[in-house]
Structure formats: C-alpha cells, structure tokens
Amino acid sequence: MSDGAQAGFFVCGEFKLSLRRPLVMGVVNITPDSFSDGGEFIDTARAVAHAEQLVSDGADILDLGGESSRPGSAPVPLDEERRRVMPVLNKITELGVPVSVDTCKPQIMREALAAGASMINDTSALRNPGGIDAIAASDAAVCLMHMQGTPTHMQRAPVYRDVLLEVSEFLRERARCLLDRGIEANRIVLDPGFGFGKTLEHNLQLLHRLTTIASLGFPVLVGLSRKSLLGGITGQRDAKSRLGSSIAAALLAVDNGASVVRVHDVAETRDALQVWQAAGKRAAESEDTVSDGAASSRTTSNETASKDAAPNEAAPNEAIST
Ligand code: HH2
C-alpha cells in the first residue's frame, strides 16, 4: 500500500528517523492519574527533568501527554490539557530529539505543532474533526492508533469477530484517508493499540501476528510498557513491577516487525534492544556465510542466498536532522 516503512526511515518534522534499528519512544505523562506514573511529573520542572533523563537514557523520540487514556478515564477539558502540555513542550523541543504530543484534540495538535512538536500521537487515529487538517498543514509525523470504544468504557466487553482483520482494516482505512489528503506515507506510523478495547486474548493475538500490521507498509509503533495485560500474565498488580514483562513484550514486538516501542523505562529497554540487535546481526552474518557457501557449491539454486537478512540491523543512535 505504501513505501513508508520500505523507505527505511520516517519523517518527523525536521527529523528523519532511520528504521534500520528499532526506535525507543520515551513517555512523559504530565497527568495526575496515568495508570503507571500518575502525578509523578505533573509539575513542569519535574516533567522537563524527566524528559532530559529519558533523552540521556537513549530515547529517540519523546511522547508528551496531558490526558490519561487508561481504562475508565474521563476526558480532560481543553484548557486543562493545554495548561499541562504547553509549558513542558516549550522547554523540551531543544533536546535534540523529536517531540510527539499524545492528544486527541485538534486544537491541542495545532498549538503543539506551532510550538515545535514534530509528531502527533492520536489514540483516536485523527477521527475528531480537524485532526487530519492539523497534520496536513504541517510537516509532522502522525501515529494512528486503533481503539474500540472510548477509554471510559473500552474495557467493559470488547468484542471482535476477527481482531487482527478488524484492526488492520481500520488502520489501512485511516492511513488511506491521510494519503488522500496528501500526507506522505513516510510521515505515517500505525499502532494496533494494545489494551485499548481488547481482552488479553485479543492483545496476544495482535502481538503474535504483528507482521500482518507491519505488512500494511507503514512503520508500526507499539505501546505495551507496564500495561495491565502484562500483569494479567505475570500476576504483577503494581505497574512498576512490570519491567521484565515490558521488556519481553518489546523484544517480541520488534521481532514481529515493530519499528517503534513506546516505553516508560528507556534505559532498560535500550539495553535489551541492543542485545537483540547484536544477536540478530551475528545470526544474519553467519547465515550469510552459510548461504555464500551454499550458493557457490549449488550454482543451480539461489534460494538460500536470497533469504532475507535479519530485520533491524544495528545502527548508531542517530536522529538525522534534515
Ligand atoms: N498507550 C497509552 C497512551 N498513549 N499511544 C499509543 N500510540 N499507543 C499506546 O499503546 C498508548 C498511547 C497508555 O499509556 P500511558 O500514557 O503510560 O498511560 P495513561 O494513558 O494512563 O497516561
């Protein structure tokens, strides 16, 4: 459908982010009620210090949010979301990495983009009137996420006939709307929306078959960090005790084609991804050696030699400013 992910990079305002290795998006929640860190960074100075720490921990992108979307949450009034987000945004656009703003409100999108945000992360996939216009008028990237229902009620009784098919059809259709409005494919990122109107079984099916979403041709972003679906497997009720399961989920997701992982624990996730990359690179090199040998000894078949190299080969931590 597109050349977004195939191009090997995505464009985020003035940044061009290489997809040769998985990217880490660090979460900065300026909310009193986020499910895992509510209230910790509600103060502007603390939120800015946290953002700086995430960048020094290796975040490739920062994601700034002023409205919790946890199950059961209520929408935050426009003025309150603005009051939370804008002072922090104004201070962190100079940290050298693109800043994404996690919002469903087109008015906040416009103001954030004018203030230097490079990406909009919309858990409602730009379905609110004016959302697509806001992106079309900018050079920012956008993350389109799938959600069944709204945060207030989404976890009451999520039902799908075929979760993979319905989520991928929804994302394909939303991406098509943006392409039709002239928004370039290499500015669009897709997210199946783990935990957003999905049972544990739905989430696991999506994680297991993430390659189907990746095959739509856009980079895939996943947000699994600290989520209750992980606690549902391990029994860890405290969100901050879900570091191990969050890292396992992030690795599985990149192994299944995710290009961006949205996480709270940037340093630990980076370390895990670096090990994954190093091992994948080594495996690809030894496969090449084996297939080179096979190609020279079996000149009638290039089947082994044309096998894909391991995904996401290692690359330095660069956000290439264009
Ligand atoms: N998850 C959360 C918020 N925004 N955006 C995308 N694209 N994908 C996600 O999975 C996603 C998201 C929920 O996590 P968090 O921001 O930590 O919690 P809260 O919504 O309670 O602030």
Q: How far is the CA of 25 from the centre of ligand 1 (A)?
A: 11
Instruction: Copy the structure tokens of residue 321.
Output: 């400013």
**Of 152, 173, 145, 248, the residue nearest 204 (C-alpha):** 248
Does any domain span residue 297? yes
Catalytic residue among 82, 105, 110, 262: 262
Ligand 1 near 145 CB (within 6 A) = yes
Does any domain span residue 3? no
198 is catalytic: no
Does any domain span residue 28? yes
Ligand 1 near 70 CB (within 6 A) = yes
pLDDT at 310: 34
Instruction: Copy the structure tokens of residue 284.
Output: 């690809």
| Atom in ligand 1 nearest the alpha carbon of residue 70 | 21
Show the domain range for 282: 9-321
Does any domain span residue 23? yes
Pair 196, 147: CB distance under 8 Å: yes
Render each residue's pLDDT in the chain as its tens digit; 322 residues: 555 566 699 999 999 999 999 999 999 999 998 888 888 888 999 999 999 999 999 999 999 999 999 888 889 999 999 999 999 999 999 999 999 999 999 999 999 999 999 999 999 999 999 999 999 999 999 999 999 988 988 888 899 999 999 999 999 999 999 999 999 999 999 999 999 999 999 999 999 999 999 999 999 999 999 999 999 999 999 999 999 999 999 999 999 999 999 999 999 999 999 999 998 777 777 777 666 554 433 322 222 222 233 333 333 333 333 2
Minimal-distance CA residue to ligand 1 atom 1:
223
pTM of structure: 0.89
Catalytic residue among 227, 237, 240, 298: 227
Does any domain span residue 1? no
pLDDT at 173: 98
Ligand 1 near 269 CB (within 6 A) = no
Pair 24, 317: CB distance under 8 Å: no
Look up residue 89 and give its amino acid.
L
Q: How far is the CA of 91 from the centre of ligand 1 (A)?
A: 22
262 is catalytic: yes
What total number of domains does the chain contain?
1
CATH number at residue 312: 3.20.20.20
